[in-house]
Amino acid sequence: MSLPNELFDYFLIYLSPCDIVQSLNDINQRLNFLIYPFIHKIDVSTKKKSWINKYLSSICSLITTIKFNHSQLQILFPTLTTIDNQYPSLKSIIWNYQFGNNDYLCLSYLNIFRTRILSLSFNLIANDNDEIDNNYLALLLLHHDSLIEELIFKYKNTFAMMWFSLKPNTLKLNEHLKRLTIKLHHPHDLFLLIENLSQLEYLNVEICEIDKNIKYNYTSIRNKTTRLSPFLKELIIDSLDFTCNHLLLFLEQFQQSIELLTLNMSIDDQINGEILISTILSKISKLKQFQFIFRMTIHENININTGKKQKRRCLDVTKEDKKFQIELIEMQILSVEEISFFV
């Protein structure tokens, strides 16, 4: 090919890594050099075994990130002992993980991956409405000797009952994990988790429900300050049931580090502007962005800024000879660099 090197980028960006490997790999050394930036991250989840055996072997040593389906695990990694030699550059895995399909075999692979790669992302798959015991997955990957720095649990089945539950003293201090996306069963699972992640910088957590039968001492987190991460900059909490006191207690532990805060919560307690200013905005000194949605049931006419009862203020509107009353609600806009809200 007589094209100058600079022009290859303009058409290679329109091809998938698999197409590039199939069409251009191993034609000559010059092309191999030019296509590398476009093939070291590859998605083979839609490819058949014959394609993998024919084309992937020639670039295994170059791959830094690979995405695959559960059924392809042994095709891509035929033996546990040769993974390092087969994929010496591998740093990140995206795995469409199917529960109930060779779980014990998968654990053997995970034991290898957790000490050799830096990022592991799961697209978890289960039958809708099936309750899955997946705690073994979290406990293994959150273990103190795991070297993973980024761990992501996503769920392909919206209605599958999949979450992680923790018990006291099941985790030991993990000093490697920096970014975590996870779905927990109860609020106290969040408190148990956070006290064992001393280097965490990013946390995206969904909490499914509150278990009122569990007697957990939430305030004990104040005694664990030496184990809590001083680096947590971005926090995202999505919860169907979380008390205001527990939320504020949790935020209190990271008020010196949080810069980006997102809260999407159904909450029984009353939240108003004064509470947000006094408990969050005035306490978190480095806060740059605050986005929040609080879903509350209010049975009385309340001023959302003060939390006090107020008389209804209504505006009379006449339309097509009919008279309507529209209730007026006063709202105070809070001041930070960026703020979004919905109440």
For residue 62, the model assigns a pLDDT of: 93
The residue behind tokens 């002992």 is 81
**pLDDT tens digit sequence for 212-270:** 667 889 999 998 878 899 999 999 999 887 888 888 999 999 999 999 999 998 877 77
Cβ-Cβ contacts under 8 Å for 16 (sequence gap 6 or more): 43
Specify the range with the lowest mean pLDDT, choosing from 259-268, 270-279, 304-313, 322-331: 322-331
- Kindly state the percentage of the chain with pLDDT values over 70: 80
Which DSSP string do the residues of 50-89 spell out, in sequence order? Answer: HHHHHHGGGTGGG-SEEEEEGGGHHHH-S-GGGHHHH-TT
pTM of model > 0.85? no
For residues 29-51, average pLDDT: 92
List the chain domain ranges. 1-39, 51-300
For residues 285-306, average pLDDT: 75
**pLDDT tens digit sequence for 153-192:** 988 766 556 788 888 888 899 999 999 999 998 899 999 9
DSSP reduced 3-state for 136: helix
Kindly tell me if the per-residue pLDDT of 333 is higher than 60: no
Question: Could you give the CA distance from residue 255 to residue 236 in angstroms, rounded to a whole number?
Answer: 14
Specify the range with the lowest mean pLDDT, choosing from 78-82, 147-151, 270-274, 318-322: 318-322
For residue 160, the model assigns a pLDDT of: 59
Buried b (16+ CB within 10 A) or exposed e, 89-103: ebbbbbbbbbbeeee
For residue 56, the model assigns a pLDDT of: 93
Please name the helix (run of DSSP H) or strand (run of DSSP E) that holds residue 245, with its range, or none: helix 244-252
